[in-house]
Amino acid sequence: MALQSLDIARRSATTTPVPGARQTTEVAKLIDVSACIGCKACQVACGEWNDLRDEVGNCVGVYDNPVDLTAKSWTVMRFAEVEQGGKLEWLIRKDGCMHCADPGCLKACPAPGAIIQYANGIVDFHQENCIGCGYCVTGCPFNIPRISKEDSKAYKCSLCSDRVAVGQAPACVKTCPTGAIMFGSKDQMKEHADKRIRDLKSRGYSNAGLYDPQGVGGTHVMYVLHHVDKPQLYSDLPKDPAISPLVSLWKGAAKPLATAALAALALGSLFHYVTKGPNEVSKELEDEIEKEDAQ
């Protein structure tokens, strides 16, 4: 591990400890929705840095384009027109991976090393280990990963882990013309968010606040929202996201226990055979049949 910022906190489908001697600074991206003008420069920068060229789609009558995340569009702007207090509000949210502290994708992934959570908080997909099962899609509480139609691998925002590893901010942060996207240590970003929230409150947005949902242990992509009490307004940002209890049940203690039970059953059968002996046809019956044949 040459780069300290690439130290690993968690590795998918791995039951032994990961290298964890060093503690690195937790990073975070802060998206100030109130300062976003919806220019989509972040979408362009993302495609440019990551060398992705999604298919040019069609206009569907709204600004959203592409209309959804794909294997080649790791971030999209979602435009919502909502009425709040008798006024029209245009709420624009940059959607993409939230880099959860407790990532549902990583929990669900059956392929060792296909999903890595770095010690700095970035959750990264390693496509060379991906088997294309889509369990990450099943595990994600934010509906982020997309399976490529071309290679059946899962893709999503990497928080530009390659840039962060060498001390650079993610491409979307670098390019944002209004400073609506910021990057730094998670503590710094929270402090900055506090200032923004105070400002928004002074301007009449009494419910302004930070979106850093604790149901997934907090996230390494956070939003400043004018209406943090109603995140659903922002193109269905979930209110209390958490890993589904079904996913926890599916990936929890049940499987090692079931494995132990199956092993016990196999061993139990062996010892049953050894202690009780085989169930053979009785000697009397064999003799009876022989006598019948002799007659």
Partner 1 sequence: MIRNPKDLQRYTASERANHWVVGICFILLGLSGLVFFHPAFYPLADLFGGPVWARILHPYIGVLLILSFVAMFFRFRALNKMTPTDKEWLSRIGEMVDGDDHNMPEQGKYNGGQKMMFWALAVCVLLLAVSGILMWRAWFDFPVDLVRLASVVHAVAAAVMIALIFVHVYAAIWVKGTIRAMWYGTVTRGWAKQHHRGWYRQITGKS
Does 88 participate in binding partner 1 (rule CB under 8 A)? no
Number of residues that bind partner 1 (CB under 8 A): 45
In terms of CB distance, is 110 or 177 closer to partner 1? 110
Q: Tokens at residue 209, please?
A: 């606040």
Does 295 participate in binding partner 1 (rule CB under 8 A)? no
| Amino acid of residue 270 | L
- Neighbouring-strand partners of residue 154: 147
Q: Tokens at residue 125, please?
A: 């997909």
Q: Which of 1, 37, 60, 285 binds partner 1 (CB under 8 A)?
A: 285
Map residues 137-176 to x or -, x wherever contact with partner 1 holds by CB under 8 A.
xx----x---x----x------------------------
Rounded-to-integer distance, Cα 4 and Cα 99, Å: 19
Rounded-to-integer distance, Cα 125 and Cα 110, Å: 13
Identify which range of 51-59, 125-133, 157-165, 182-190 contacts partner 1 by CB under 8 A: 125-133
79 and 88 Cβ atoms separated by less than 8 Å: no
Does 279 participate in binding partner 1 (rule CB under 8 A)? yes
Contacts with partner 1 in 235-274 (CB under 8 A)? 244, 246-247, 249-250, 254-256, 258-259, 261-262, 265-266, 269, 272-273
CB of 113 to partner 1, least distance (A): 10
In terms of CB distance, is 62 or 246 closer to partner 1? 246
Strands 27-32 and 221-225: parallel
26 and 220 Cβ atoms separated by less than 8 Å: yes
Map residues 14-33 to x or -, x wherever contact with partner 1 holds by CB under 8 A.
xx------------------
253 Ramachandran zone, left/alpha/beta (phi>0; psi -120 to 50): alpha
- How is 69-126 classified by DSSP, letter by letter? --SS---EEEEEEEEETTEEEEEEEEES---BSS-HHHHH--STTSEEEETTS-EEE-
Which residues form the interface with partner 1 (CB under 8 A)? Answer: 13-15, 110-112, 131-135, 137-138, 143, 147, 152, 244, 246-247, 249-250, 254-256, 258-259, 261-262, 265-266, 269, 272-273, 276-282, 285-286, 288-289, 293
